[in-house]
Structure 1
Amino acid sequence: MTETTPLEAQLPAHILAKADFQHGEYAWRVKDIPEVIKAVADAGFLNLGGQLQIRIPGCIGECDWVDADPAAMVPPDLPWDVRVRMAAELSHQEMTDLQQHFDFHQQIREAFPAHVEPYLASGGKIEDATWFVWYVMDEAGDKAFQEAQTEE
């Protein structure tokens, strides 16, 4: 089985430098997501969204109830560049809405207490444990996805 390089790896170096890459997924600190969204759109990719995660030594976990799915709200029959811009705008709005609805740090603490408490007790900071995995898609991948959906 060959492992493929995720499309996110094509984002600019300054964006990748802020990322944590583990188990085939890129994640960024929440404060960096607006810059990631912009870089994704500037690269001509569709912002798919992602989920809140804890990432600390010995633990990666997902709060899958704290998720953004902006691409699902973009009509697939629009021109690609319009979809890219619309998904970026919706991504910013969804992240704002999520942050107003959820205390991300509290969600991490409540979901992973057995990992968070020792991490914090040893001097770790909750900000350093709180990440958001973010996915992107290019036009060819989207076309293949749309075709697969019509075959079902």
Structure 2
Amino acid sequence: MSEPIESRLPADTLAKADFRHNEYAWRIIDLPEVIEAARALGLRNIGGQLQIRTPDAIGECDWVQIDACQLIPPILPWDAQVEMAANVALQDLQLLKAEFNFAREIKEAFPEPVARFIESGGTLEDAIWFVWYVDAEEV
């Protein structure tokens, strides 16, 4: 399995991620840094979904998602796509934060894994992640 493109992000950004099943996920608070790091490297932010990530569970709340490329015309120059996707991603993140209570979404969607995690000493906040994808220009 090849390295995901997200592995090109700076080491300090990757250090904040949870990497499992060839996917990187970050805390909600770290997503703006991820988005800006991708932009700075000329990587296009694709988006991602809210996830529960505990030692024994990974699950997506696919209704809580960002699709930063959905409305970006693929005929635009790559640099323009990178800029537009980063701007859309940052804006959509703010909209999601206003629309959803992430802790409630995780707790309602995954009650058993959340209960097990909390019983083992974890906190609900430690189970809340956002998987994020980027891509690079094909050459």
CA distance in 1: counterparts of 2:113 and 2:43, whole angstroms: 35
TM-score using structure 2 length = 0.97
CA distance in 1: counterparts of 2:71 and 2:35, whole angstroms: 16
- Select 2:92's aligned residue among 91, 94, 100: 94
Name the count of aligned residue pairs.
Answer: 139
- What is residue 41 of structure 1 aligned with on the other side? 39
Cα deviation, 1:99-151, whole Å, max 9, x if unaligned, reads: 111111100000000110121233211111000000001110xx8xxxxxxxx
- What is residue 48 of structure 2 aligned with on the other side? 50
Moved over 6 A (4+): none
Larger radius of gyration: 1
Deviation of residue 75 (structure 1)? 1.4
Q: Secondary structure at the match of 1:44?
A: coil
Q: Secondary structure at the match of 1:127?
A: helix
- Select 2:105's aligned residue among 104, 107, 112: 107
- Select 1:83's aligned residue among 74, 81, 84: 81
Q: Which runs of 5+ in 2 are unaligned?
A: none
Cα deviation, 1:16-69, whole Å, max 9, x if unaligned, reads: 000010001000001000000000110100000000000001001111111100
Q: Secondary structure at the match of 1:139?
A: coil
TM-score using structure 1 length = 0.88
Q: Which runs of 5+ in 1 are unaligned?
A: 144-152
Q: Which is helix-richer, 1 or 2? A: 1
CA distance in 2: counterparts of 1:109 and 1:27, whole angstroms: 18
Q: Give the aligned residue type for 1:44.
A: G
Cα deviation, 1:53-93, whole Å, max 9, x if unaligned, reads: 00001001111111100111211111111110110000001
CA distance in 2: counterparts of 1:78 and 1:115, whole angstroms: 43
Q: Give the aligned residue type for 1:76.
A: P
CA distance in 1: counterparts of 2:71 and 2:87, whole angstroms: 11
After superposition, the CA RMSD in angstroms is 1.0
Q: Secondary structure at the match of 1:72?
A: coil
